[in-house]
Copies of this chain bind each other. A is one copy, B any other.
Amino acid sequence: MTQDFRFTLQATDGRARRGQIDTPRGDIRTPAFMPVGTAGTVKAMYPEQVRDTGADIVLGNTYHLMLRPGAERVARMGGLHDFMDWPRPILTDSGGFQVMSLAKLRKLDEQGVTFKSHIDGSSHSLTPERSIEIQKLLDSDIIMQLDECVSLPAEEDELNRAMELSVRWAERSKQAFNDAKGRALFGIVQGGDNHHLRARSARHLIEIGFHGYAVGGLAVGEPQDVMFSVLDEITPHLPTEKPRYLMGVGKPDDLLGAVARGIDMFDCVHPTRAGRHGHAYTRFGVVNLKNARHKDDPRPLDETSPNPTARRFSRAYLHHLVRCEEILGAMILSQINLSYYQELMAGMRNAIEYSTFDQYCASVREGWIKGDLPALE
């Protein structure tokens, strides 16, 4: 373990945890939401705009970056922070998940996975060792082990095989990581919706020893209650003194429920992707700005929002930008959605400190249930 990476648990409220991760590139307040900067950019946002929403850390995708512009090239350019001009912490995934979801002609064996790029068909391979090497070349602050993620539903045999393989890859990842100074390595708990497999996976990973523990293999199409049930079972098996990261999650309601179950970190493309499709996240829930009800509405999205951008433009203007597929629409709504996500994380952190987490979540949900402003007559 390196000295520069430290997790401090500052307060709890039920199973919800308020903490802080110290890294050489800055602190991460937890629970934390990490905007996804897929290919070295959080889409449609300047880095300082991402920071201004309240983000302490962003995520970079190893799969995308290894294909374009290439990990060695990013390293020659001074690493991903310099390349994209984001000086704060970056977590990189292992690439495994997107090899499974995006690449063509995959072949997986004990050694790793070979695949063809979805961009140009070129051949690549990813082993636990190469994934760690790439993430070091990117100059990642939090590195993820390579794992195999199985989509649900799946047979127990298949879940077990992938979990066992992921544990062996976790060991190789730890070896390859080699206590890299100033960086952290997270293991990934697998096992699908099978509680015994999840518990075994966690036990193995804890024996190997990581700076943090991720829950993988969720948000792969299962209902929310299945995800929550897995979290209910798994978080008690994880060490309290290490951060817990639920990968690829989620929508605002998922975040509330997962923090309630002891999760500290999240990432998801949803807020920026939804923004590019004309959907705004607000205290009223999701507002679909494509909807004709907004076309003559002079009101801002939310005039009481702490985010100036959500108070600035009329719904009629946002509707117009979305209908015309104007880039500014994607820019504004990405900003609004990431701001709302960060507002939610800040609200949860504050509520945990004051032991009012349940009340906070209830009041947030009440706003969503109440829904959007009544349409104008």
Chain A residues packing against B (C-beta within 8 Å): 39-41, 43-46, 68-69, 73, 76-78, 83-85, 295-296, 298, 312-314, 316-317, 319-321, 323-324, 326-328, 330-331
Specify which chain B residues have a CB less than 8 angstroms from the CB of A40 in the assembled complex: 317, 320-321
Residues A85 and B326 in contact, CB atoms below 8 Å apart: no
A46 touches which of B76, B85, B296, B331 (Cβ 8 Å): B331
A85 and B44 CA atoms in complex are apart in Å by 20
In whole Å, how far is A51's beta carbon from the nearest beta carbon of chain B? 15
| Extra pairs beyond A76-B296, A83-B314, A327-B331 (4, CB < 8 Å) | A39-B324, A39-B326, A78-B298, A83-B317
A46 and B316 CA atoms in complex are apart in Å by 17
In whole Å, how far is A86's beta carbon from the nearest beta carbon of chain B? 11
A83 and B323 CA atoms in complex are apart in Å by 15
How many monomers of this chain does the complex have? 2
In whole Å, how far is A291's beta carbon from the nearest beta carbon of chain B? 14
Residues A316 and B69 in contact, CB atoms below 8 Å apart: yes
* Chain B residue, CB-CB nearest to A40: B320
Residues A320 and B85 in contact, CB atoms below 8 Å apart: no
Specify which chain B residues have a CB less than 8 angstroms from the CB of A73 in the assembled complex: 295-296, 316
A84 touches which of B45, B76, B317, B323 (Cβ 8 Å): B317
Residues B46 and A320 in contact, CB atoms below 8 Å apart: no
Specify which chain B residues have a CB less than 8 angstroms from the CB of A317 in the assembled complex: 40, 77, 83-85
4 tightest A-B contacts by CB? A44-B327, A41-B328, A69-B320, A39-B324
A83 and B212 CA atoms in complex are apart in Å by 48
A-B contact pairs, 28 of them (CB 8 A): A39-B326, A40-B317, A40-B321, A41-B321, A41-B326, A41-B327, A41-B328, A43-B326, A43-B327, A43-B328, A44-B327, A44-B331, A46-B328, A46-B331, A68-B323, A68-B324, A69-B316, A69-B319, A69-B320, A73-B296, A76-B296, A76-B298, A77-B316, A78-B298, A83-B314, A84-B317, A85-B312, A327-B331
In whole Å, how far is A60's beta carbon from the nearest beta carbon of chain B? 13
In whole Å, how far is A337's beta carbon from the nearest beta carbon of chain B? 14
In whole Å, how far is A52's beta carbon from the nearest beta carbon of chain B? 13
Specify which chain B residues have a CB less than 8 angstroms from the CB of A77 in the assembled complex: 298, 314, 316-317
A312 and B323 CA atoms in complex are apart in Å by 33
A313 touches which of B76, B85, B313 (Cβ 8 Å): B85
In whole Å, how far is A324's beta carbon from the nearest beta carbon of chain B? 5
Specify which chain B residues have a CB less than 8 angstroms from the CB of A84 in the assembled complex: 317
Specify which chain B residues have a CB less than 8 angstroms from the CB of A331 in the assembled complex: 44, 46, 327, 331
A45 touches which of B43, B320, B328 (Cβ 8 Å): B328
A69 touches which of B69, B85, B295, B330 (Cβ 8 Å): B295
Specify which chain B residues have a CB less than 8 angstroms from the CB of A45 in the assembled complex: 328
